[in-house]
Chains A and B, each alone.
Chain A
Amino acid sequence: MLLVLVAVARLALAQDTDTTFAVRQGQRLDVSDFGGSVVIKSWRQNAVRVRATHGSRDYVTIATDGPTVRISASSRHGPAMVDYEILAPPWIPLSVSGTPSAEVTIEGTEAEVTVETVEGSIRVVGGRGNISLKSVEGEVTLEGANGHIELNTVDGSISVTDCSGDIAAETVDGEITLLGIESADVDASSVDGSIEYDGTIKDAGRYRFESHDGSVSVSIPEQANATISVATFSGDFDSSFPVTIKDKQKHRFTFTLGTGTARLELESFDGSINLRRPGQVHDQNDEE
């Protein structure tokens, strides 16, 4: 229930809203857009500045609902399409929903992030703790985040760079690129797209990369201790370093590196599976 109405900016003729309000630790920011773009950047003030470009009959509402500050826009006929530019303190958790569409960009956050769009790409730089980015029809890009990371899209690629923590990435029709990752738990799957992983293979870690119709390329550091299971129906296997296969079945084989404490599952029904050394994964695929 809405407890306090902080501000309502209703501009009958003008097409911009520009307002700033104070926020305190413990609050979170929730932005809803019906179509347009949402750009949130950080600044070092305990306040949120909202600049919005919208139709002359639309109005932006900023309201508090418990610890949540909600920003949304309406028109006489329902939700409105707005382009938002928001400045927020890096500590404030962020939630953005774009239905039916929104292009979402978040930069400099040091807090939890939840973004969900139906149509539109998502790009987030930063983030700590729970990070959940979902799109139906759009690319998902995450850089420099740390925490429990969940990335989903249906028709689009997923790119994760320089992130740490548990990572789960899933798409139906798109590539998944995971570069500069520090993690002991990674799960990436695509039905129709390639998967690249270049990051740590930690002792006792769990790594699973699966594609139906795309290649799977994974970097293995020289000192890695891993039991690697490779499975394919009609794809190829290629390794840039020698491996000794110890257990071979018709469509699957395993081998061990070092003490074998980490577990890697690499599966591609119809694509190639490639093992590379760090730094070689992306280069090799660029050449193809």
Chain B
Amino acid sequence: MNDHWTDRLSEYLDDELDGAERLELESHLATCEGCAATLAELRRVVGRAQALDDRGPARDLWPGIATRIGSSTDELASRRVRRRISFTVPQLVAASIALIAVSAGIARLASKQPARSASVPVPTSGSMGQPAMFEKADSSADIAVDQLRLALAEGQRTGRLSPTTVYKLEHSLAVIDSAIAEGRRALMLDPQSAYLNHHLADTMRHKLEFLREANRIATARS
């Protein structure tokens, strides 16, 4: 894979290349299977990340509040411009995991290795009728886990990671997934529990931090 174009695939995706560069990259893509495959993979990841919901509130409460505290329309507009965008914890987890997946894809781009299958399957948590946001987090996490598999296989191939380390990482991922599965089962029994919702989100945060760290270690250069 070409180093120069590897670094510029995301610019291409974002339509930030000028016309000549774009043509040159497209010409390169026609002859480089590696770049073409990774670009397709990045497109899928970005597509999924973009598909994450950014829902507004079901009802805008501000007009009523503004009336009661005497804010003017201008102030209202100004406040709306400055409005802090906030997400629920599960939304943040979902978005973060999606970003991890993108980062992992970019890290693999940087490692200049073509995609290959992992030799050892890694268990992932499945959908159990949980809220859509958790399912989206799952979907994004699956991408990140796939990237981790590739990175682990590559780390093992280069000797950077020993088979024992790879086994321990996979075991730890299984431990987190088992905890997530237990959290989901508990949440099905008591969907309104603030503790269980928070605990599940927190365990998923563990997973995303684990994936981030494991990917970093597996793709870093000595």
B175 within 8 A of A: yes
A53 within 8 A of B: no
Q: Mark A50-80, 1 if CB is under 8 A from B, else 0.
A: 0000000000000000000000000000110
| CB-based contact A269/B165 at 8 Å | no
Residues of B within 8 A of A155 (CB): 168-169, 171-172
Known contacts A118-B217, A119-B162, A136-B217; is A191 also within 8 Å of B206 by CB?
yes
| CB-based contact A213/B179 at 8 Å | yes
Smallest CB-CB separation from A34: which chain B residue?
Answer: B222
From the candidates A137, A192, A267, name the one contacting B164 in the complex (CB within 8 A): A137
Residues of A within 8 A of B53 (CB): none
A99 within 8 A of B: yes
B7 within 8 A of A: no
Residues of B within 8 A of A212 (CB): 179, 182-183, 199, 203
Residues of B within 8 A of A269 (CB): 179, 182-183, 186, 199
Interface residues in B136-190 (C-beta closer than 8 Å to A): 159-162, 164-165, 168-169, 171-172, 175-176, 179, 182-183, 186, 190
Determine how close the nearest CB of chain A comes to the CB of B222; give it in whole angstroms: 5
Whole-angstrom CA separation of A154 from B167 in the bound complex: 12
| CB-based contact A118/B196 at 8 Å | no
Smallest CB-CB separation from A137: which chain B residue?
Answer: B168
| CB-based contact B199/A233 at 8 Å | yes
Known contacts A137-B165, A192-B179; is A172 also within 8 Å of B172 by CB?
yes
A231 within 8 A of B: yes
| CB-based contact A119/B206 at 8 Å | no
Q: Mark B10-50, 1 if CB is under 8 A from A, else 0.
A: 00000000000000000000000000000000000000000
Whole-angstrom CA separation of A212 from B222 in the bound complex: 34
| CB-based contact B206/A172 at 8 Å | yes
Known contacts A192-B175, A252-B195; is A100 also within 8 Å of B206 by CB?
no
A251 within 8 A of B: yes
Smallest CB-CB separation from A78: which chain B residue?
Answer: B222
A200 within 8 A of B: no
B67 within 8 A of A: no
From the candidates B160, B195, B199, name the one contacting A100 in the complex (CB within 8 A): B160
| CB-based contact B159/A172 at 8 Å | no
Whole-angstrom CA separation of A213 from B178 in the bound complex: 10
Residues of A within 8 A of B213 (CB): 136, 152, 154
Number of A-B contacts defined by CB within 8 Å:
92
Known contacts A136-B168, A172-B176, A252-B194; is A99 also within 8 Å of B206 by CB?
no
| CB-based contact B172/A173 at 8 Å | yes
Residues of A within 8 A of B161 (CB): 100, 118
A270 within 8 A of B: yes
A210 within 8 A of B: yes
Whole-angstrom CA separation of A234 from B199 in the bound complex: 13
B5 within 8 A of A: no
| CB-based contact B168/A251 at 8 Å | no
From the candidates B182, B190, B222, name the one contacting A99 in the complex (CB within 8 A): B222
From the candidates A79, A173, A250, name the one contacting B175 in the complex (CB within 8 A): A173
| CB-based contact A154/B199 at 8 Å | no
Interface residues in B32-76 (C-beta closer than 8 Å to A): none
Residues of A within 8 A of B132 (CB): none
Residues of B within 8 A of A173 (CB): 171-172, 175
Residues of B within 8 A of A234 (CB): 186
Whole-angstrom CA separation of A192 from B222 in the bound complex: 31
Residues of A within 8 A of B172 (CB): 154-155, 172-173
Beyond A191-B203, A233-B195, A269-B182, 5 extra complex contacts between A and B, CB < 8 Å: A99-B220, A118-B165, A170-B206, A172-B176, A269-B183
| Cβ contacts A to B, 15 pairs, < 8 Å | A99-B217, A100-B162, A119-B165, A136-B214, A137-B165, A152-B213, A154-B210, A155-B171, A172-B206, A191-B203, A212-B199, A231-B195, A233-B195, A251-B193, A269-B199
